[in-house]
Amino acid sequence: MEKNEWFPPRLLQSDAETRRQEIEKKVRRPTAVFIPYFLLLGTLLGKAAFANDTTRYFLSVVDFVQIVRQYHPVAKQAQLLKDQAKAEMLLAYGGWDPKIYSDYDEKMFEGTHYYSYFENKISVPIWYGIEAKAGYNTATGKYLNSESMLPDVGQGFVGISLPLMKNLLIDKQRAMLRQAQLFREASEQQRLMMLNDLLVAGLKCYYDWAYAYSEMKVFEEATRINVVRFNAMVESVKLGDRAAIDTTEALTQLQGRQFQLNEARLKFIKAGLDLNTYLWLENETPRPLDSLLLPSPLNSDFLRVQLRYEKLEELAAELLQTHPILRNYDFKLRQLDIERRLKIESMKPTLNLNYNLLNESYRVRNDFNYMVNNNYKLGLNFSMPLFFMQGRGDLQTTKLKIKNTQYAVETKKLELVNKLKAYYNEMMTLQAQTKLYEKNIKGFAQLFEGETARLRNGESSLFLVNARENRFLESQVKLYELQSKFYKTEADLKWTLGDIGR
């Protein structure tokens, strides 16, 4: 017998090992053929426990969540959103990157130097669409255009380009920067959304695994007891104390338990494979399957779990303020509002002012007023579509996007609140059902114990004992199922609140 034997809730006395040793001594005594069976029933009326086993180790739900958060590829993908947000910010700031411009153009034909132009400029974008610039140009040759003629030593300039109508309040570059800033804030909500989805699925797999393990251990113990019962019945028939048909009854019950055990083992293996998809090591290495890894028993901390969600209205109000899905919608609406403002700005006429102060060569004149009045280049650029059809179409499209997103927000709010209410009520019901079933198990245990006592006194049959045992085992499995559902519903509730990934 394994040292790490497990017994269902309220089914293990502290001296169970001692009593099993006594059973093995008594099993061959004719006057005590059924004593082993009756004493083993005592192990079905004690407290659940997992004996220490140095060859196996248990994975608690807390450790499982930590492993998933730290090593799962999807969790790492969620972390990449922060890096992506930084890259978006860098891209947006690139619009204010100063630029250096240089152009050289020369023509020589039949030994005649027609012209040679050399332009050099640096431009520095400033907020509000303003662009400061400075440069130095030269122009030489025999055939220069009159407007391109410059002093022999070249001409330097400093200037400014200023939008007076369109792009004054907001332009594409400023809109991109503000949207990147919003994306940086929204990336945290998207990260929480990814973690919430990952962890709720992982927790459900964990509790299915824990339930499958608990169910398997119930049938392992039941099978072991039925083996002892069958052997005791065979000995009793040999001694003439029982009819031979009772061995058939005991064998049929044993085979049924073995069938249930095989199914439970297969279920546990499948649940372990599903869980293994969430267990990873460092460097994106899948964790090898480990048959020695076991879940913590479902009942180990169930009694300590108390509903911390006393006021449903407060939970609903918290959900509407903090859920990452809703907050992500809020950021999306703010980004669309920036896009709307940009579309409105784009419908204004274009009117740009360009002004350059000119200077001969690199020399700076002391008389600034003279330069302003006599050495300058001034330009105005104006353009305007006659019907603004493109601008009006873009603006209308953006407004429809905003309206569509607002509808989606209201739908999602109602959906989340209704899910919250459903999961909350389900948790309350499961908690009450679990407590009720714990009491129910005590009743089945008493009936089982009483029926075995009657059999011992010759007042009952093995058939009735088996029937009581069946109901008792079914109630144990049902209790674990209720506990598993409770924990999975709690995970769903936390997902609805957006709390799992925090």
Amino acid 74: pLDDT: 94
Amino acid 363: pLDDT: 65
Amino acid 36: pLDDT: 42
Q: Which two tokens stand for residue 111?
A: 């030994």
Q: Which residues of the chain have pLDDT under 70?
A: 1-55, 299-310, 361-366, 501-502
Amino acid 12: pLDDT: 32
Tally of CB atoms within 10 A around 247: 19
| Sequence-ordered alpha helix ranges (H) in 3-115 | 16-26, 35-42, 61-71, 73-93
CA angle 279, 284, 288 (to 5 degrees): 45
* Per-residue pLDDT tens over the stretch 67-107: 999 999 999 999 899 899 999 999 999 989 999 999 999 99
Amino acid 308: pLDDT: 55
Q: For strands 49-50 and 57-59, give the pairing.
A: unpaired
- Dist. CA 387–CA 128, nearest whole Å: 26
Average per-residue pLDDT in the chain?
84
Q: Quickly count helices (H) and strands (E) in the chain.
A: 11, 12
CATH topology (fold) of 6-88+176-332+405-497: Outer membrane efflux proteins (OEP) (1.20.1600)
- Dist. CA 172–CA 72, nearest whole Å: 38
User: What single string gives the DSSP state of each residue in 372-415?
Assistant: HHHSEEEEEEEE--SS-HHHHHHHHHHHHHHHHHHHHHHHHHHH
Domain boundaries, the chain: 6-88+176-332+405-497, 98-163+350-383
Tally of CB atoms within 10 A around 1: 8
User: What single string gives the DSSP state of each residue in 274-312?
Assistant: HHHTT-EEGGGEEPPP-TTEEEPPGGGTGGG-------H
* Euclidean distance between the first and the last CA atom of the chain, given in angstroms as a whole number: 44
Cα 83 to the chain's mean position, in Å? Answer: 18
What is the SS3 assignment for 205? helix
Amino acid 455: pLDDT: 76
Amino acid 38: pLDDT: 41
pTM of the model: 0.78
- Dist. CA 391–CA 440, nearest whole Å: 72
Amino acid 310: pLDDT: 60
Instruction: Identify whether the C-beta of residue 13 lies closer than 8 Å to the C-beta of residue 43.
Output: yes
8-state DSSP, 361: B
Amino acid 160: pLDDT: 94
